[in-house]
Structure 1
Amino acid sequence: MSQIPKAEIPNPHNLEVSPPEKMGGFEWWRRSLSYRTGLGMDAQEKEQFEFDYQNKFLPDQCKQCVEFRDWMLTYSPSVTFMMEHVRKLTKDKKQILNKSNIICDVCDDLKGGGFHPEEGILLCANRIQSKWQLEDVLTHELVHVYDHLKFDVDLNDLKHHACTEIRASMLSGECRIFNEIKKTGLGDFGRKFQSCIKRRAILSVSANPACKDKAEAEKVVNAVWQSCFNDTRPFERVYR
């Protein structure tokens, strides 16, 4: 499995990374806030900040992502459990998942990670904010790997796509009730777990080029919901 290449960082004006003493602490926070709001920063300052962000901040994020990844591969119950089951299903020993094909890199979309059968797992360092979020993302992607190996998932088939997304969100811990309470409050407590899984599955299927629109994605998710939500393999049960 080859590593996903990193895009070139545009630098039309031959900018240099700002010295640490000029970009640390309060100054970094001020410029970050200005960049996000568009206030108090001219075009040249924005270009300089974007360049600094790509060259100074993101490499540190990738380093932290690698540290989190290595910790999870050693100590996380959900990650080590899924890794063991993935290994059992991997027929080509050259494609066994390990640190060389579970990659931390910068992503240009809003996803926390991704899986490609020939490339491995990508963890989006610039989207992952904590060790525990990485655990959920990595477990999610490992469920996709497991489904690919065990069920020969065809993502051009929307039902296949919906089913593996339902299972990945359900089994990864991303939709645990405590997380949902922090996001949406205490209302509709009994439905939070299922609502989160459905929401995430519909969003993912909607982005599939084979899907016409959100209405079709919702229809497909509902069609496979019962069987896929009740399939907890390789776990015996799901803790919410």
Structure 2
Amino acid sequence: MVEPDDNKARNPPPSIIPSTGAENTTPEPDFSAYSWKNFFKAVAGTLSYDDAMKYLEARDTLKVEQDCKRCESDRDWLLKNSPIVTFMQQQIALLGGDLNPTNIRCRRCPTHKKGGFSEDYGILLCANKIKARGEMEDTIAHEMVHAYDHLRFKVERWNLRHQACTEIRASTLSGECRFTREFFTKGQWKLSSHLQTCVKRRAAISLLARPGVRDDVHAAKLVNEVWDSCFGDTRPFDEIYR
């Protein structure tokens, strides 16, 4: 679960469940790292990993307003025009939930994740990590599946089998594991059983961020334990949408 990263917010806007927690804060980045010298080193492949992280952190902080405006524009467009996003929004509404621009929020994220869902805050979109509208569509759809599961199946936060199941469903139904996306953006070339392989990999990676998951072996074990019932459950779709 990813909590919103907004140091300025004191009263978060309403989500599908009222907020009761505080938002996370992050240390001030080293702005001196954001320089042309480090940029050219990064292009040449000579910038160390630690210096590259400092460069990106400073860049993301300095460009946060620009990134968030672009993110919000793409979010609003998708809420009106994306078939999968509008469908999931309607299905969530039928369960008594409400996801809209007030609780699908764009923020700068200090992690490598592109987004997250919290029953306390709604959906977080990491404006500094999502670079294209298609990527955002997959991210919103993924997090909307989590929101749907939370309302429809009462997913328990600390039940790791529940968490494994919703991660499987989100990766399966959002479209993030369709062959063209993996082929062109992730360099995944495998044709046979591509969807299942991708979903298992992504679900296990997502589980690693959850408290109680010890390592990648434990994460893979949890995914395998619930695989048969969760991969085959395509609700609210009649079949895998894309």
Question: TM-score with structure 1 length normalisation?
Answer: 0.80
CA contact (8 A) 1:9 1:54 kept: no
Show the counterpart of 1:234. 236
CA contact (8 A) 2:57 2:110 kept: no
Tell me, in whole angstroms, the C-alpha distance in 2 between the residues paired with 1:113 and 1:97. 15
Show the counterpart of 2:94. 88
Tell me, in whole angstroms, the C-alpha distance in 2 between the residues paired with 1:111 and 1:234. 25
Query: Which string of whole-angstrom CA distances, capped at 9 and with x for unpartnered residues, describes residues 115-173 of structure 1?
Result: 11111110000110100100000000000000000000013111100000000000101
For residues 50 and 33 of structure 1, do their structure 2 counterparts lie closer, same or farther at Cα, with a shift above 3 Å needed?
Answer: farther
User: If you compute each CA radius of gyration, which structure gives the higher value, 1 or 2?
Assistant: 1
Deviation at 1:50, TM superposition (A): 6.0
Tell me, in whole angstroms, the C-alpha distance in 1 between the residues paired with 2:59 and 2:165. 41
Tell me, in whole angstroms, the C-alpha distance in 1 between the residues paired with 2:153 and 2:119. 13
Show the counterpart of 2:17. none
5+ residue gaps, structure 2, are 1-10, 14-21
CA contact (8 A) 1:180 1:193 kept: no
3-state SS in 2 of match to 1:138: helix
CA contact (8 A) 1:73 1:79 kept: yes
CA contact (8 A) 1:113 1:123 kept: yes
Structure (1 or 2) with the greater helix fraction: 1
2:39 pairs with 1:32: yes
2:61 pairs with 1:54: yes
CA contact (8 A) 1:180 1:192 kept: no
CA contact (8 A) 1:6 1:105 kept: no
Q: What RMSD over aligned residues (CA atoms) do the two structures have, in Å?
A: 2.9
Match of 1:156 among 155, 158, 166: 158
Match of 1:122 among 114, 121, 124: 124
Tell me, in whole angstroms, the C-alpha distance in 2 between the residues paired with 1:53 and 1:157. 34
Show the counterpart of 2:7. none
Deviation at 1:180, TM superposition (A): 1.9
2:142 pairs with 1:140: yes
3-state SS in 2 of match to 1:237: coil
Show the counterpart of 2:175. 173
Show the counterpart of 2:6. none
3-state SS in 2 of match to 1:155: coil
Tell me the number of residue pairs that the alignment of Structure 1 and Structure 2 aligns: 218
CA contact (8 A) 2:60 2:128 kept: no
Q: Percent identity?
A: 42
3-state SS in 2 of match to 1:104: strand
Q: Which has the higher contact order (CA 8 A, sep 6+)?
A: 2
2:113 pairs with 1:102: no
3-state SS in 2 of match to 1:103: strand
CA contact (8 A) 2:64 2:128 kept: yes
For residues 38 and 216 of structure 1, do their structure 2 counterparts lie closer, same or farther at Cα, with a shift above 3 Å needed?
Answer: same
CA contact (8 A) 2:79 2:85 kept: yes
CA contact (8 A) 1:114 1:141 kept: yes
2:100 pairs with 1:64: no
CA contact (8 A) 2:123 2:143 kept: yes
Question: TM-score with structure 2 length normalisation?
Answer: 0.79
